[in-house]
Amino acid sequence: MKVFITGGAGFIGSHLADKLVEKNHKVVILDDLSGGTKKNISNQAVFVKIDCRDNKGMDKIFKKHKPEVVFHLACNAAENKAQFSPIDITSRNYDAFIKTLTPFIKYKGKRFIFTSSVAVYGSLQIPFRETDKPEPEDLYGITKLAAEKTLEVMSKVYGFEYVIVRPHNVYGPRQNMRDPYRNVVTIWMNAILSNKPYYIYGDGSQTRCFTFAEDVVRALVRCFNGKVSGRIFNIGSDKKYSLNSLARHFSQFTNKKASYLPERPQEVKFAIPEHKLAKKYLNYRDKTSLREGLRLTWEWCKKQGPQEAIYGEIEIKSKKLPKNWI
Ligand SMILES: NC(=O)c1ccc[n+]([C@@H]2O[C@H](COP(=O)([O-])OP(=O)(O)OC[C@H]3O[C@@H](n4cnc5c(N)ncnc54)[C@H](O)[C@@H]3O)[C@@H](O)[C@H]2O)c1
């Protein structure tokens, strides 16, 4: 099958591309390399360097390849930076989405698979159920929810199939070590390799369900399956860890303890999803323990060596900005 993966040079997208290539799908990766890298791209996939917001360029590519399935992952997923760089985040997350969906519909794509996030739940009562009514608390979650709602409406009008997946706290090899704003696991690993302190914002009681990339990708591939159209899935592990307990796991890599900074505005305290539908329809299973996943990620990070962080533009400079982001 001819498949487009936007954001396919990034972390999750590149693992997904490898899996689809392995299954003999014809994969075309669209990415502007703002967060991803060519190193991640399988040489059996076609790569097109493009910003999804370039609607004329996108029209041409869709016209040429006419993909049956689109996985849309292109995004700036820096959730905690979103409040400080609202223009870039909303434009990369919503504008890029609608400028991918429109040519998909125009050239008669069959199924659009959208990578949303559990950020849409905000601070709802835990565990977050796939059937809960979302209540996002940050701009990242708001843009994801806007895209979800747009898909519902446009699918009613044009009749294409769609699937919404909400992964959470994914980590593993190929995660961007240079991004100082997101991905706690590789931020900490890079800090340790660079002989710098590694930070927890707030008291470290915030709780997440960390999920190894390979486990997520297995579920994403199953989104091709016939009977999941119109469904929403939380994708990831059931096992919850506070950041303090994640830091304790890091004692296998360093004897340095984490340092603490003030909490960040609008950071959700407990992001604990349930995965009933993903288990039922996508056969989602956790195969990789946190200990094993961290070990594999650490081996990969060590191979990359310490990386210089890339600090993007901050659109609103405020006292609330974490001091290590300046
Ligand atoms: N990593 C997680 O824990 C997690 C959790 C929930 C949801 N997600 C979602 O999964 C998707 C992939 O996340 P990731 O962690 O692999 O991030 P990533 O930053 O590694 O990948 C995103 C890719 O999109 C590309 N990109 C960004 N804007 C673009 C644009 N306008 N045009 C073309 N390409 C563009 C970047 O270059 C990058 O390669 C995102 O949509 C994210 O919101 C990730």
Q: Ligand 1, from 75, 93, 138: best to mutate by most atoms within 8 Å of Cβ? A: 75
pLDDT at 324: 84
Q: Are 87 and 129 in contact (CB under 8 A)?
A: no
Distance between Cα 247 and ligand 1 center (Å): 25
Mind telling me the catalytic residues?
Answer: 140
Q: Which amino acid type is present at position 20?
A: L
Q: Give residue-wise pLDDT tens across range 57-80.
A: 999 999 999 999 999 999 999 999
On the question of pLDDT at 218 being above 90, the answer is yes
75 lines ligand 1 (CB under 6 A): yes
Rounded mean pLDDT, 251-272: 93
* Residues whose CB falls within 8 Å of the CB of residue 55, separated by 6 or more in sequence, listed in order: 99, 102, 103
Domains annotated on the chain, with CATH: 2-171+212-235 (3.40.50.720), 184-208+238-273+288-325 (3.90.25.10)
The tens digit of pLDDT for each residue in 2-40 reads 999 999 999 999 999 999 999 999 999 999 999 999 999
CA of 226 to the centre of ligand 1 (A): 25
- Which of 73, 87, 100, when mutated, tests ligand 1's pocket best, judged by the most ligand atoms within 8 Å of its CB? 73
Omega cis (within 30) before 127:
yes
136 lines ligand 1 (CB under 6 A): no
Say what percent of the chain tops pLDDT 70: 100
Q: What is the pLDDT of residues 188-203, one digit of tens each?
A: 999 999 999 999 999 9
Q: What is the pLDDT of residues 77-120, one digit of tens each?
A: 999 999 999 999 999 999 999 999 999 999 999 999 999 999 99
Query: Helix (H, G, I), strand (E, B), or coil: what is residue 164?
Result: strand
Q: How far is CA 241 from CA 169, 185, 249, 325, in A?
A: 11, 12, 10, 25
Residue carrying the six token digits 């860890």: 241
Sequence-ordered list of residues with C-beta below 8 angstroms from that of 245, at least 6 positions apart, any chain: none
Distance 255 CA to ligand 1 centre (A): 32
